[in-house]
Amino acid sequence: MQFSPEQMQGILGQWRNWIGGIAAQNKLANPGNRLGVEGAVIRKGGIVTDGPYAEIKEMLTGILVVRTETLEEAVELGKGCPIFSAGGSVEVRIVIPTTME
Amino acid sequence: METEEQLIPHLFRTEYSKIVAVLGRLFGFEHIETAEDIVSDTFMLAAETWGQKGLPANPAAWLYTVAKNKAKDHLKRNTIFNNKVAVTLQQNAAEAYETEIDLSGKNIADSQLQMMFAICNPIIPTEAQIGLSLRILCGFGIEEIADAFLTNKETINKRLFRAKEKLRHEHVKIEMPATVELNNRLDTVLTTLYLLFNEGYYSRSQNISLRKDLCLEAMRLTYLLTGNAVTVQPPVYALLALMCFHASRFEARTGQQGESILYGEQDTSLWDKELIARGQQYLNKASTGVQFTKYHVEAAIAFWHTQKVDSQQKWESILQLYNTLLILEYSPIAALNRTYALSKAINKESAIIEAEKLKLDDNHLYHCLLGYLYTDIDDGSALNHFEKALKLAKTKPDKKQIKLYIKQLAEHTAKTN
């Protein structure tokens, strides 16, 4: 998809607004990163192929870490993601803490 | 033509900080009180002498000469004492005794910088760093510092005493930190200067001229950093730009009765164009190199606020800058300001949705924002929020301000019904 500069500005703005909105609620743990289109897949035996998986029609494009009391709250935050208008989806997972007791 | 009374307070404050910095570096934190006493004695003598004989031709030079002599006398008298005490002191005393006490412009600037790094030290609490900076670096009196912090003299005296004790205990030297440590320590210095500026800018103290002096002192100290090859770095310029932009509206922010005037209602002819221009120069200098700090973002936001235009582009830019700022570092004020910018860039309805998510229910400013946002949409809710704000507000000026909002809302509601 080709975008004009104004459209890019608008799209970037939407993403910044989404993440900024989470940050404003003091629920942003890590703004994370967007992920590039190129990649590699490594399998047992050191076999490396071009990635991401060609068979999977969904490709991970970014990660964000939020800080909420419940999974439901995190889901609410995820609902604001601009990816939906591009036909994408958001997966929400719990980060397992690594603190030593 | 300034009268004697007007000239002396500022003269004393300016020269106090310079002489204490030089003598303080010489004596170290071990004997910092001695340095302060010498300077106080000098000023007392000045007040007596000048009161009788009138101002000398060069008041600063007079002060330097008397302070130097008092310091030398003290060192001479104390050499024997020092010889019998710790050997570590001896080196300092011997050096000092032989060394001419250098009150040149360069040594004053160097000493002040070194004193700044010594005081803005993470081992003492931030309030203590600011308090000590005000006392030693800026020459403020204990009462003035208490007024600025909205507390009493005993609290400030205790705070400063404990801080000096700690610095002594840890044998903190008054010198530039080693290069490897410098960036970290510069961070601490900038944070302290930023907070010092905010004390003046946001303080609820009724003493307007004192608040202005705090801002100017913070700017002066930040500017000192730009005069040194090692410390002149982009974040320093960014902070300086930020301070200039904010300070440019100082005159317009406060009304005749000391009430604060909102940005949208300020008389823009009172905005200091020269400060704005200087801020822009500093912002340009800050834009070199690879460092990108929250000061850069805040300076950019402050820059936009110096532009009178009320355009979509302005508010969208400010909104995006607040997004960037919050992603870097959260603060409730930034969250509130972002929401305001959003209301201007998009609309009030969207802003209300965002605002409700913030849940800063114990913050009177939060309720003021919601009061503003609900006006014209749901005046009943607006009034509820303003009343909550009034209950939560702690200071008289704040309460007065909110009562004004309530009055304005009532008038507004009456007109539209």
Report domain extents, chain A.
5-86
Instruction: Check residue A57 and give its pLDDT.
Output: 65
Closest residue to A25, CB basis, from B323, B324, B357 = B357
Dihedral in degrees, nearest 10, Cα atoms A82, A84, A88, A91: 80
Does domain A5-86 fall under CATH 3.30.70.1060? My reply is yes
The structure tokens listed for B309 are 């235009």
Contact of B177 with B227, CB cutoff 8 Å: no
Whether pTM > 0.90 for this model: the answer is no
Question: How many Cα atoms occupy the beta-carbon half-sphere of A48 within 13 Å?
Answer: 3
The structure tokens listed for A87 are 């036909």
Q: pLDDT digits over B201-221, tens only?
A: 877 667 777 788 889 999 999
pLDDT above 80 for B403: yes
Helix, strand or coil for residue A85? helix
Identify the burial level of B253 via C-beta atoms within 10 angstroms of its C-beta, where 0-12 means exposed, 13-18 middle and 19 or more buried. middle
Domain coordinates of chain B in residue numbers? Answer: 1-103, 314-355, 360-417
Contact of B19 with B39, CB cutoff 8 Å: yes
CB contact under 8 A, B335 and A13: no
Task: Name the residue of chain B whose CA is nearest to A65's CA.
Answer: B327
CB contact under 8 A, B322 and A20: yes
Residues in chain A: 101
Instruction: Check residue A39 and give its pLDDT.
Output: 82
Closest residue to A20, CB basis, from B326, B358, B359 = B326
- Model confidence band, residue B99 (pLDDT cutoffs 50, 70, 90): low
Please state the ipTM of this predicted complex: 0.84
Chain A residues whose CB is inside 8 A of the B319 CB are 17, 20
Measured at the CA of B274, the angle between CA B237 and CA B224, to 5 degrees, comes to 35
